[in-house]
């Protein structure tokens, strides 16, 4: 289940799913978690001894005991205080280690899920959302797991033990303590209901102010040149006013909560002393019991403060965790195909395909095309004709709004990512060099490839420069390492494709950054390596079209001409005109 999200944005997990995910994380490190709870319980137990013995001291002194007896009890109090300190320190050490391990799991799971997302999901949602979830949200979850979570856990155990101790001393005093604390419960509920929106508003107002100031300062010259000073000042003044308003609101919420909490800590103690005083006089209770109960309730303020302090943090990080967990649902948002999942052949078929980006007009309008295995097809046409869009549909990145795009009878977009990569790969101008060696960068496509395979792939795409690198395949690439130029980056990307060995390759201006000589060399080398495979090249240079088996001409979202170079030139249509103008005839 997921909460409705804005069109295209990544989903957010429902609270029930978030709870299940949190429990799963705890179970994965269940022994450490149990050890933390047990040690905390022991520490809290040791902490209860002090007030109880203080009560005993009061009773013994009242019964006429001497200094020796008091000293003995005081020493025992000291010993238990030490034990409590050591146990709680060790528990918090284990708690923080548990938090770090769990955070590492959350991070790894996030990376796995992000990498498994279909490209279309990321493109629709935008990388900004994914990046925010992977950084700010995971960091918020991390803070909770590392700090807030263990501390709240410790505080909850302590509070339970303290209240249990007061009830054990005397149920009436226990009830008095709980009733006195009800104020905190109501105040916290009142506060939390309002705090989330109030703090979100404050955060948004701060961002808006920062944006206004940044826009005004970076565009200072334009502001000055166009005489926009007054408008900018007014915009900034409004942003500052909004900041002040939202801040005053959160300040008001805090100024109601904290006094109520402070008074609520005193009420149970006062109540216990009043009732205890009456009971002591009637002989129903010893003075020591009343002193111990009052001390326990005084102690309660520490764990409760801790819980209150972290409540907001827990709330906001559970929202972050819902966003992090939402990633698991993203791939399932894609409509699942109902047909067979194993293609019967390598034949690509587009039938009556329409496509529109979001709610825009159709940019593909009834495209029909069959690409035979081993064929080399070039797609040409003016800018905006829909060539790239058709390439994305053929590669399974997007699915058609109407009509079908299939490989061997199976909708391409229904193939799972691994199976899809074995069959169709889309190579665009956008290439990424990962931080790591040349070998790491290539083995992404074929983890079991040998160095000889890697060299062969590099040679196939004309990347002879590998021989000039100081450490060959071991040369570090990426920031801080050896810098590849645009053409070399593209060759690395093409070498990855050679290694992945798909049956169909869709080149969307893949060789555009290479100088014409290198590009032709690369295309020829690529064609040699991919002999017997399907190559669909979205071509800007008509030489590519000339070398292809067939040429498809796209215009305004339609496939208007389809045939061999010679047939189309002879037909004297759009392609012939393009060819002649390119040739300068």
Rounded-to-integer distance, Cα 533 and Cα 346, Å: 9
Of 259, 40, 317, residue with least CA distance to 155:
40
Rounded-to-integer distance, Cα 521 and Cα 460, Å: 9
Q: How far is the CB of 554 from ligand ATP (least distance, A)?
A: 6
How many other CB atoms are found less than 10 A from the CB of residue 196? 13
Binding to ligand ATP by residue 128, rule CB under 6 A? no
Residues linked to residue 538 through DSSP beta bridges, in sequence order: 379, 508
Q: What x-and-dash track marks residues 338-377 binding ligand ATP by CB under 6 A?
A: -------------------x--x--x--------------
Q: How far is the CB of 185 from ligand ATP (least distance, A)?
A: 51
Q: How far is the CB of 376 from ligand ATP (least distance, A)?
A: 19
Q: How far is the CB of 457 from ligand ATP (least distance, A)?
A: 28
Q: How far is the CB of 250 from ligand ATP (least distance, A)?
A: 39
Number of residues that bind ligand ATP (CB under 6 A): 11
Q: Is the dihedral of CA 514, 518, 520, 523 positive or negative?
A: negative
3-state secondary structure of 536: strand
Tokens of 166: 């007061």
Rounded-to-integer distance, Cα 87 and Cα 157, Å: 13
Q: How far is the CB of 381 from ligand ATP (least distance, A)?
A: 6
> Is the CB of residue 57 less than 8 Å from the CB of residue 70?
yes
Question: Which is nearer to ligand ATP, 242 or 523 (by Cβ)?
Answer: 523
Rounded-to-integer distance, Cα 408 and Cα 164, Å: 69
How many other CB atoms are found less than 10 A from the CB of residue 98? 23
> Is the CB of residue 551 less than 8 Å from the CB of residue 562?
yes
Site for ligand ATP in 267-296 (CB under 6 A): none
Question: Which is nearer to ligand ATP, 117 or 442 (by Cβ)?
Answer: 117
Question: Which is nearer to ligand ATP, 16 or 383 (by Cβ)?
Answer: 383
Site for ligand ATP in 378-407 (CB under 6 A): 381, 383-389
Question: Which is nearer to ligand ATP, 198 or 506 (by Cβ)?
Answer: 506
Q: How far is the CB of 581 from ligand ATP (least distance, A)?
A: 16
Question: Which is nearer to ligand ATP, 303 or 386 (by Cβ)?
Answer: 386
Site for ligand ATP in 313-342 (CB under 6 A): none
| Angle (deg, nearest 10), helices 30-62 and 67-116 | 160
Question: Which is nearer to ligand ATP, 389 or 490 (by Cβ)?
Answer: 389
DSSP letter at 385 equals S
Rounded-to-integer distance, Cα 299 and Cα 294, Å: 9
Question: Which is nearer to ligand ATP, 148 or 505 (by Cβ)?
Answer: 505
Site for ligand ATP in 419-458 (CB under 6 A): none
Q: How far is the CB of 368 from ligand ATP (least distance, A)?
A: 17
Question: Which is nearer to ligand ATP, 203 or 384 (by Cβ)?
Answer: 384
Rounded-to-integer distance, Cα 154 and Cα 420, Å: 49
How far is the CA of 416 from the CAs of 116, 118, 241, in angstroms? 10, 9, 52
Contacts with ligand ATP by CB under 6 A lie at 357, 360, 363, 381, 383-389
């Amino acid at each position: 289940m997921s909460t409705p999200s804005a069109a295209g944005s990544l989903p957010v997990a429902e609270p029930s799913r978030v709870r299940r995910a949190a429990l799963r994380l705890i179970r994965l490190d269940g022994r450490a978690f149990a050890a933390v709870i047990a040690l905390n319980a022991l520490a809290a137990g040791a902490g209860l001894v002090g007030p109880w013995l203080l009560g005993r001291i009061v009773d013994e002194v009242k019964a006429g005991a001497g200094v020796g007896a008091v000293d003995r009890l005081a020493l025992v109090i000291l010993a238990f205080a030490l034990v409590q300190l050591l146990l709680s320190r060790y528990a918090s050490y284990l708690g923080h280690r548990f938090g770090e391990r769990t955070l590492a799991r959350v991070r790894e799971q996030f990376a796995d899920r992000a990498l498994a997302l279909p490209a279309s999901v990321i493109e629709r949602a935008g990388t900004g959302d994914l990046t925010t979830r992977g950084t700010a949200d995971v960091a918020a979850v991390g803070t909770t797991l590392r700090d807030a979570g263990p501390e709240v856990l410790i505080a909850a155990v302590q509070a339970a033990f303290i209240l249990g101790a007061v009830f054990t001393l005397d149920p009436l005093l226990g009830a008095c303590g709980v009733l006195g604390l009800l104020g905190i419960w109501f105040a916290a509920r009142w506060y939390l209901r309002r705090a989330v929106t109030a703090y979100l508003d404050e955060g948004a107002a701060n961002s808006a102010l920062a944006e206004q100031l940044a826009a005004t300062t970076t565009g200072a010259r334009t502001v000055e040149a166009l005489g926009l000073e007054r408008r900018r000042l007014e915009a900034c003044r409004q942003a500052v006013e909004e900041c002040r308003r939202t801040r005053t609101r959160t300040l008001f919420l805090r100024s109601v909560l904290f006094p109520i909490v402070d008074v609520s800590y005193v009420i149970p103690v006062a109540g216990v002393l009043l009732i205890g005083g009456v009971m002591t006089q009637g002989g129903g209770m010893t003075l020591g019991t009343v002193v111990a109960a009052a001390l326990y309730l005084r102690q309660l303020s520490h764990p409760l403060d801790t819980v209150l302090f972290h409540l907001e943090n827990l709330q906001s990080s559970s929202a972050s965790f819902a966003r992090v967990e939402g990633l698991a649902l993203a791939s399932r948002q894609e409509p699942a195909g109902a047909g067979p999942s194993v293609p019967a052949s390598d034949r690509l078929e587009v039938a009556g395909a329409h496509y529109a980006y979001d709610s825009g007009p159709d940019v593909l309008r009834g495209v029909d095309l069959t690409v035979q295995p081993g064929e080399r097809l070039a797609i040409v046409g003016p800018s905006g004709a829909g060539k790239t869009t058709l390439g994305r549909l053929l590669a399974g990145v997007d699915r058609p709004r109407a009509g079908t795009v299939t490989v061997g009878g199976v909708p391409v977009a229904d193939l799972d990512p691994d199976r899809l990569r074995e069959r169709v790969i889309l190579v665009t101008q956008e290439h990424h060099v990962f931080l790591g060696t040349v070998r790491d960068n290539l083995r992404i496509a074929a983890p079991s490839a040998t160095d000889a395979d890697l060299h062969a792939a590099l040679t196939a795409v004309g990347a002879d420069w590998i021989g000039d690198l100081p450490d060959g395949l071991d040369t570090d690439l990426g920031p801080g390492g050896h810098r590849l130029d645009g053409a070399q980056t593209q060759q690395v990307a093409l070498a990855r494709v050679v290694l992945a060995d798909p049956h169909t390759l869709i080149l969307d201006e893949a060789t555009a950054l290479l100088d014409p000589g290198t590009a032709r060399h690369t295309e020829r080398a690529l064609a040699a390596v991919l002999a017997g495979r399907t190559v669909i090249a979205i071509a800007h240079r008509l030489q590519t079209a000339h070398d292809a088996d067939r040429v498809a001409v796209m215009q305004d979202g339609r496939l208007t001409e389809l045939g061999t170079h010679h047939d189309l030139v002879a037909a004297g249509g759009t392609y012939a005109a393009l060819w002649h103008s390119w040739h300068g005839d």
